A and B are shown apart, each in its own frame.
Chain A
């Protein structure tokens, strides 16, 4: 049975919160198992890389501007590394490509 919009929202918000909270309660100490520690250490890199590519090239309405954003993002991240600069450069790349094409 559907409980209505507001109760539905409450149920779903609580579910999402619990998914995020449980690990913080379970892993209260530093894990000693080397494999698990290493796995958790590598998680952010793999997760973010998987989420970035190929999504970045299909995020805009023209794949060429997406590719431009990827290239500019890789270069600025490699040489500059500052979060704000990289994010803005990617936006600028899409904007400029849109003007040219």
Chain B
């Protein structure tokens, strides 16, 4: 278990959740506006955000509701759009202590978003789940409030604020991947190759038509798969 008790980790989670909350607020506000556009009410949109906690996944959900999709179509689309969370959960399952009470394996899945996953993986050693729960409470509060306000108030947030807030989530991603790149050249190379490939995917014909969710899955499988082959991590590192 990582040093520190549950309560300090929970508090740290609440603090680290603040920038996530801000970024989520801006994104979910836009989501709320979209939901309102297809006739969803604030309760429906709020429940959706609280229950799903997924950006692209919820945009897809709105489209499905708008098109009165059937059950099979809803389930398959949800699986495809949210498949990257499957990979993230696989990865995070290896950060858990073997002694961790079993119920955490039912609570942690709810918390797996791009940002919360990123921060939870960045912890040294085993993950204390209360860190993740702290971040999740703050983030989901922002995510849900943003969605509800988006539905209720529509387009009242000024452009400059939406613009500025919209990059905060990416800033957090950089704060997660750049410091380890400084210490480990292989990680640095991995980050560079990943960014370059992602850039190519958005420029090249055919490849640029692949949806964002699929791009993440394809590139993660290819690049992380190749990296694991070229440079297998030693035991001590993989456990951390």
Contacts and interface: CB of A to CB of B under 8 A. Distances in A.
Q: Do A and B bind each other?
A: yes
Interface of A: 1-3, 5-6, 8-13, 15-17, 19-31, 34-56, 59-62, 65-66, 69-70, 73-74, 76-78, 81-95, 98
Given A38-B228, A44-B117, A94-B167, A52 B177 contact: yes
A92 to B, nearest CB: 7
Contact of A44 (B19, B69, B121, B231): B121
B195 A52 contact: yes
Contacts of A47: 84, 87-88, 114, 216, 220, 224
B109 interface: yes
Interface of B: 15-16, 18-19, 22-23, 40, 44, 47-48, 51-52, 54, 57, 61, 64-65, 68-71, 74-75, 78-79, 82-94, 96, 98, 105-106, 108-110, 112, 114, 117-119, 121-122, 159-160, 163-180, 182, 187, 190-192, 194-195, 197-199, 202, 212, 215-216, 219-220, 223-225, 227-229, 231-233, 237-239
A46 B167 contact: no
Ranked nearest first, the 10 interchain pairs of A and B with the lowest CB-CB distance are: A90-B171, A13-B51, A38-B228, A77-B178, A49-B194, A20-B109, A23-B89, A86-B175, A21-B109, A56-B170
A93 to B, nearest CB: 8
Question: What is the predominant secondary structure among interface residues of chain B facing chain A?
Answer: helix
Contact of B87 (A43, A81, A91): A43
A83 B90 contact: no
Contact of B180 (A45, A53, A60): A45
B155 to A, nearest CB: 14
Contacts of A50: 194-195, 197-198, 215-216, 219-220, 223
B227 A90 contact: no
Contacts of B94: 27, 30-31, 37, 40-41
Given A9-B61, A50-B219, A42 B227 contact: yes
A9 B48 CA distance: 6
Given A13-B52, A39-B228, A55 B79 contact: no
Contact of B82 (A19, A31, A65): A19
Contacts of B18: 84
A34 B78 CA distance: 31
B159 A61 contact: yes
